[in-house]
Structure 1
């Protein structure tokens, strides 16, 4: 297991890239792509509020702001899944195969739970649906988000089963930050640390040259 703790997200991203390029194992994935991979990479960003994308990074400005909202948007137009849909309307109490009596908004549910019991260990959301995802190719990469209220700060932990570190870690961090800010604002408290656990942390071969240039 690799553990990284930094103040800023951009520094954490660079550190993980260096670890993978130096110590990663070559793995050919299910799509026949060559990658370098490390298992169980855990990154904690202690100051997400002041974290910014690396300079010249492709995800920035309005594009990044739009991407941040995706965890909170329940609308899904014909896609196998979206995180906003999985978090806000996918799950619920079924009365038939495709008929719901109550749809569960997991975001509002964790806010309610944290308001009722600030020390709860049950403020957890999931995006993985075994009844669907065990039988299809397009499966959520980020499968769990956990919130803890400690010392009047909201601390967020998320688990990715599979994580493209070079191409996706930065945008994923910032949309997770957007979700965390939404929850923290609803609770009237400040944002704490954000921790990302990548069970499979990898870089695609076509990004090796770019990764080696990261300083």
Structure 2
């Protein structure tokens, strides 16, 4: 286990990468891809608002603006999974095995719960659907996001069952940041810390040199 609190997202990202490269175990996954892995990496970003993406890392600043909306919009796919649809249109009351009579917007549900009770511990969004995902090869990596109001700030915790730290952690953080900011704005409160829990935090062997070049 590795835990960390830091102000800015890109500092946290580099710290995780360094820990995995130094202390990660060699693990070969279901696709026969070689990785270094740490289990249960929990990082809290204390100042998500002023966090900026690492300069020159994959996407332009304009692209990150779109990434911040990807968990809110139902048209976007991330690694083959439509997270926005899972969050806003997937679950509901079933009429039959695959037919929903009412589709639940989990973002709206979270906002309504927290409006009714600021100390609620029930404002949680679920992404993993066992009725489908237990039988699929390509399943969501992010499985839940939880929200709490404490001291008039919104605290967010997001859990990944599997997290490609070099290739996806930064983008995923900004996706959660966008979702959290939207909910905080709906509630007219400040955005507080964002915690990212990566059950399997790993780096693919194909990215080892990329990671090492970050610290040259």
Query: Offset at 1:80?
Result: 6.0
Structure 1 residue ranges (4+ consecutive) displaced by more than 6 angstroms after TM superposition? none
How far apart in 2 are the matches of 1:45 and 1:114? 22
Q: In the alignment, is the contact (CA less than 8 A) between 2:76 and 2:83 conserved in 1? A: no
Q: Distance in 2 between matches of 1:60 and 1:157?
A: 26
How many matched pairs? Answer: 214
User: Is 1:29 aligned to 2:67, yes or no?
Assistant: no
Deviations 1:46-83 (A, max 9, x none): 00000001121112312111122110012378x96311
Partner of 1:130 in structure 2? 130
Aligned-CA RMSD value: 1.3
Q: CA deviation at 1:98?
A: 2.7
Once the two structures are superposed, what CA deviation does each residue of 1:71-127 show, in whole Å capped at 9, x if it has no partner?
0012378x9631101000000001122322211000000000000000000000010
1:205 positional shift? 0.4
Distance 2:154 2:103 in 1: 26
**Per the alignment, in what secondary structure is the counterpart of residue 53 of structure 1?**
coil
Match of 1:4 in 2: 4
Give distance in 1, aligned partners of 2:140 and 2:185: 26
Q: Is the CA contact 2:47–2:193 (under 8 Å) kept in the aligned structure 1? A: yes
Corresponding residue number in structure 2 for 1:199: 199
Q: Spell out, residue by residue over 1:165-208, the C-alpha distance to the aligned partner (whole angstroms, 9 max, x if none).
A: 00100000001000000000000011000000000000000100
Aligned pairs (5 A) from 1:19-168: 19-75=19-75, 81-168=81-168
Secondary structure at the aligned position of 2:114 is classed as helix
Change in 2 beyond 3 A, CA 1:114/1:18:
same
Structure 2 residue runs of 5 or longer lacking an equivalent are none
Tell me the TM-score normalised to structure 2 length.
0.96
Gaps of 5+ in 1: none
What TM-score results when the alignment is normalised by the length of structure 1?
A: 0.96
CA distance in 2, matches of 1:37, 1:115: 40
Separation in 2 of the partners of 1:42 and 1:80? 25
Q: Distance in 2 between matches of 1:208 and 1:29?
A: 16
Deviations 1:139-158 (A, max 9, x none): 00000100000001001000
Q: Residue 70 of structure 2 contacts residue 76 of structure 2 at CA under 8 Å; is this kept in 1?
A: no
- C-alpha distance in structure 1 between counterparts of 2:60 and 2:151, whole Å: 31
